[in-house]
């Protein structure tokens, strides 16, 4: 089976005349259509809001597209908070979900009015000492522990995750926060990653809704919102069935009406913090085949490497590859598709059946729109690539320039050790 790139071979040949590979390319139309579908799927909930997971794709041009549709920002660090603030997101449009959080990050989140989502019971006192009070609106991240199952399938193991309050800590935390002045409460949980099933959100929602009802009954807390976080995945492999966001939204609605409405909580707002689902399929890494190697295996060396896309090296993650202009040819060859890092795991694909690849062929590595560029690094002195937006009208826009050697060496600018270096 194959995946169809959102860019044609003819388009890509023109794009590469202006922008040398490697680069990440994003599909504006796909992003817009997807966010509209998400909003429609949850339109039954008056307070629904998507807080885009900035960590997935921290590019202001792309975040501004989502902002047009009323999305907020889910931030996990100081610089992500700074980015959201610079893009003029209002305080309540920013959710700060962090862990092992430095004091200065809590201070900045409070200064810009972000909703703070606490990750641990001990953070209650830490936050109070840091900013001098407990905010009137506060959220807590819940981790029930054990295994998270859907039917008989184990989706993930929250018990091994470093995130969140235990059940006992959550109830005690709400009591303490209420005593310290909190008036508006939220609950947050992330119990499984990259799920390709329409059952995940409704199952998670049931857990959170039932917990919210008990919290209200036992602590008297006024629960204003329930944050389902992320976890809705995408089909990286071509034979996987994609999630149906309309079905997911309807599944959550049924649980909402079964659990929250009878408990007098029919006005609770629902939030999501999707990253991969929002951007993943609408980005690709474009690279050129620059070497062939015939040794114990057949290798194709590209001008991109794990610096541009870390997931295959880090997780062994699958990303589909299209050899542009040859997508209808028979898969006659078996290749390892590699980069040039001095690490043997620097491979985009291992033993992948593909059509014959020639030097100069353009390869599209699919589904890199989230956790692609964002996970880049500079090992071996490699430089991060450009990011380019393929606009709805077919034109392109540079939305991040490629790094230069000057960027790489910039943090030595307070010393004279590199004075002899000429750029």
Residue 126 structure tokens: 């830490």
Q: Using CB atoms within 10 Å of the CB of residue 353, give its burial: 0 to 12 exposed, 13 to 18 middle, 19+ buried.
A: exposed
Other beta carbons within 10 angstroms of residue 327's beta carbon come to: 14
What is d(CA 385, CA 373) in angstroms, rounded to the nearest whole number? 8
Among residues 71, 73, 75, 342, which one is catalytic? 342
182 phi and psi angles, rounded to 5 deg: -70, 140
- Strand segments, DSSP code E, in 339-403 are 347-354, 362-365, 386-390, 396-400
89 phi and psi angles, rounded to 5 deg: -75, 135
- Which among 84, 129, 136, 86 has a CA at the least distance from the CA of 106? 129
Q: Half-sphere exposure of 249 toward its Cβ, with a 13 Å CA cutoff? A: 18
Task: Indicate if 75 belongs to the active site.
Answer: no
The answer for 383, left when phi > 0, alpha when psi is -120 to 50, beta otherwise, is beta
| Angle, CA 420 vertex, CA 417 and CA 423 arms, to 5° | 110
Helices then strands (H, E): number in the chain? 12, 19
List all residues 6 or more positions away from 32 whose beta carbon is below 8 Å from its beta carbon: 65, 69, 392
- Which among 178, 258, 153 has a CA at the least distance from the CA of 213? 258
List all residues 6 or more positions away from 42 whose beta carbon is below 8 Å from its beta carbon: 48, 249, 252, 270, 272
Element (H, E) at 156: strand 153-156
What is d(CA 221, CA 386) in angstroms, rounded to the nearest whole number? 47
Long-range contact set of residues 121-126: C-beta below 8 Å, sequence gap at least 24: 121/165, 121/169, 121/172, 121/173, 124/173, 124/176, 124/177, 124/180, 126/101
Residue 106 structure tokens: 């809590």
SS3 of residue 398 by DSSP: strand
Which residue numbers are catalytic?
Answer: 342
């Amino acid at each position: 089976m194959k995946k169809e790139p959102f860019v044609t071979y003819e388009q890509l040949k023109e794009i590469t005349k202006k922008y040398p590979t490697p680069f990440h390319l994003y599909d504006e139309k796909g992003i817009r259509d997807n966010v509209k579908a998400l909003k429609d799927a949850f339109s039954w909930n008056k307070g629904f809001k998507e807080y885009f997971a900035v960590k997935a794709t921290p590019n202001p041009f792309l975040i501004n597209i989502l902002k047009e549709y009323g999305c907020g920002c889910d931030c996990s660090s100081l610089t992500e908070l700074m980015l959201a603030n610079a893009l003029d997101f209002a305080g309540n449009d920013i959710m700060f979900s962090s862990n092992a959080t430095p004091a200065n990050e809590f201070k900045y989140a409070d200064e810009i009015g972000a909703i703070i989502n606490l990750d641990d019971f001990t953070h209650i006192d830490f936050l109070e000492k840091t900013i001098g009070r407990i905010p009137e609106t506060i959220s807590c991240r819940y981790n029930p522990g054990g295994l998270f199952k859907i039917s008989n399938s184990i989706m993930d193991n929250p018990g091994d995750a470093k995130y969140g309050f235990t059940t006992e800590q959550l109830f005690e935390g709400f009591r303490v926060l209420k005593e310290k002045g909190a008036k508006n409460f939220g609950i947050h949980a992330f119990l499984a990653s990259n799920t390709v099933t329409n059952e995940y959100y409704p199952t998670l929602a049931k857990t959170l809704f039932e917990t919210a009802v008990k919290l209200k009954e036992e602590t008297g807390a006024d629960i204003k919102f329930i944050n389902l976080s992320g976890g809705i995945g995408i089909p990286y492999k071509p034979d996987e069935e994609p999630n149906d966001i309309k079905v997911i939204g309807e599944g959550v609605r049924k649980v909402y009406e079964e659990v929250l409405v009878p408990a007098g909580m029919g006005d609770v707002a629902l939030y999501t913090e999707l990253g991969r689902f929002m951007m993943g399929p609408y980005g690709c890494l474009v690279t050129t085949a620059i070497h062939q190697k015939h040794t114990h295996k057949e290798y194709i060396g590209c001008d991109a490497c794990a610096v541009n896309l870390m997931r295959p090296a880090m997780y062994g993650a699958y990303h589909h590859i299209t050899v542009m202009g040859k997508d209808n040819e028979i898969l006659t060859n078996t290749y390892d598709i590699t980069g040039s890092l001095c690490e043997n795991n620097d491979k985009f694909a291992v033993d992948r059946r593909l059509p014959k690849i020639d030097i100069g062929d353009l390869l599209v590595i699919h589904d890199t729109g989230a956790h692609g560029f964002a996970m880049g690094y500079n090992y071996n002195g490699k430089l991060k690539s450009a990011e380019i937006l393929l606009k709805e009208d077919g034109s392109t826009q540079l939305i991040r320039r490629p790094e230069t050697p000057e960027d790489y060496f910039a943090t030595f600018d307070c010393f004279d050790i590199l004075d002899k270096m000429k750029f």
